[in-house]
Amino acid sequence: MQRIILPPGNPPANKIFDLRLPDEQSWKQELFLRKPFLADGSEVIMRADSIQAMLRTIEEECRFTGGLTGRYTLRQQVFDAMAAVPREEFVPDRFKPYAYDNNPLPIGNGQTISQPFIVALMTDLLEPDPDDIILEIGTGSGYQAAILAQLVKKVYSLEIIPELAEQAARRLQKLGYDTVEVLASDGSSGLPEHAPYDGIIVTAAAPRIPKALVEQMAPFGRLVIPVGRPPLPQDLRLVEKAGNKITSRSILSVAFVPFTGQAKA
């Protein structure tokens, strides 16, 4: 996924936030040009500066895209969660110097950790509350789950790639995110044994909204999911349930990595 740098004002409707893996050559060039965090005490200062820069960028992106998303800013709790989670702990060592850049980063197995703006936006779209139970489809590195853990009571996170699921579970446990439970599973069918969920978040592009996920939404629950078939642009959608009524609306054009479970068919 590559950052789209937007001009001041609202972005054109055809702007796409690309969340797929950048090509290897571009990363080699970037790594050659950038300097890593220093090994002495100045690393702490650099990290604090990096976090503040990330938060400012998220605010800027919100203003630029607000005409499309309806969100010219995000809830303060979301900004606080983004500041609190050590993003560098969720990326491979060689990419730690770039952890707080508003870019995706490779995490192995052809997957990425999403750029901070998209993580923050999708979190805010869920409108999480302290007593909420959230289902995440696509654990990846565990970063999105860690952000949610700052805001809700419980997070169940499903990851179809066993290696990533194991790594994320260990990482989250080490960092103290005890309210996150990671399971190695195809998320196409959700996790009915713990349903209903106040919010469901999907971090890979599905060709359609899985019926099982809609059925597992709590009354007044929310589902945030990119819909479409890579490599074509996808539509980040917000699905809301009010009683028996289901509504769905487009939020932003994005380009996520593809869903690899049964929903890919």
Q: How far apart are CA 106 and CA 112, in angstroms?
A: 4
pLDDT tens digit sequence for 49-72? 999 999 999 999 999 999 999 999
In a domain, 241, yes or no: yes
In a domain, 39, yes or no: yes
DSSP SS3 for 154:
strand
Give Cα separations from 165 to 2, 29, 183, 186 (angstroms). 24, 30, 7, 11
In a domain, 53, yes or no: yes
> What CATH code is carried by the domain that includes residue 210?
3.40.50.150
Q: Closest Cα to residue 140, out of 198, 204, 193, 196?
A: 204
In a domain, 77, yes or no: yes
Total structural domains in the chain? 1
In a domain, 11, yes or no: no
Please state the pTM of the whole predicted model.
0.84
In a domain, 134, yes or no: yes
From the list 50, 114, 141, 189, the catalytic residue is 114
Catalytic residue at 114?
Answer: yes
In a domain, 78, yes or no: yes
Mean pLDDT of 111-138: 97
Q: What is the pLDDT of residue 210?
A: 94
Mean pLDDT of 143-164: 97
Q: What is the pLDDT of residue 24?
A: 47
Q: Which residues touch 39 (CB under 8 Å, ≥6 apart)?
A: none
In a domain, 5, yes or no: no
Expressed as residue numbers, the domain containing 109 is 17-264
